[in-house]
Amino acid sequence: MTDRFSFGMTIKHVAEDMAGHHMSAFLLDMGTFYWTGYRSLRFCASLSNFGQQVSPEGTYEKRILDQNSGSEITEITNFEKFSPPTQFRVGAAIDPLDSNGQKLAFSVQLNHPVDNAEYIVTGLEYSYMEILFARAGHKFNKYEEDITFGIGFVIPVGPLMIRADYGYANFNHLTDPQRFSIGVTLK
């Protein structure tokens, strides 16, 4: 075909055991990437957690308050089946600036979860000499975690590359999380 197109797939087995109830399923992740050849424009799409409906094994007690007598009624009920958290994503990215050790990357992505509202994510990353990074992002149609920003550094030390990153995201109902990470790779 072409060296501009990539495709990948993963089959995974997920299982959960909680309070004596067990469920498991095989799920599929697949994605594709296409480099257009026009400057740095690239497109991608993915489907995550695609699979059959699942249900915990066994039964549970469902307690209901009888409105007439005020007494509690207990029913033994089977768990209902539900879909895994499948999500379809499609996105594009381009580098409007890429010269003299400076790079600016812009990306936009549409997320379509099967069990929630669609939302759009945009992001910018500026890098200087592949050592200093500044990032910002915005999620449209999201009430929580809609604005993010971060910084990062890559420091060469002998045969190693040490990476340190900081990220912030705003939340309305939870304390705004701040994320720190440190990584080491070989050159």
DSSP state string for 151-163: EEEEEEETTEEEE
Give the pTM.
0.81
The pLDDT value given to residue 1: 62
pLDDT higher than 90, residue 173: no
User: What percent of the chain has pLDDT above 90?
Assistant: 77
Q: Are 169 and 176 in contact (CB under 8 A)?
A: yes
The pLDDT value given to residue 53: 94
The pLDDT value given to residue 58: 84
> Measured between alpha carbons, how far is 26 from 19 in angstroms, rounded to an integer?
22
The pLDDT value given to residue 69: 86
Residue type for 38, please? Y
- The domain locations on the chain are 5-50+82-150
> Measured between alpha carbons, how far is 182 from 180 in angstroms, rounded to an integer?
7
pLDDT higher than 70, residue 115: yes
pLDDT digit string (tens) for 94-103?
A: 999 999 999 9
Mean pLDDT of 155-166: 96
Q: Considering the chain, what is the average pLDDT of its residues?
A: 94
pLDDT digit string (tens) for 27-84?
A: 999 999 999 999 999 999 999 999 999 999 888 888 888 888 888 989 899 889 999 9
> Measured between alpha carbons, how far is 77 from 82 in angstroms, rounded to an integer?
15
Distances (CA, A) of 44 to 8, 89, 102, 113, 178: 11, 8, 24, 16, 28
**Residues 108-139, buried b or exposed e (16+ Cβ, 10 A)?**
ebebeeeeeeebebebebebeeeeebebebeb
Helix ranges restricted to H, 13-81: none
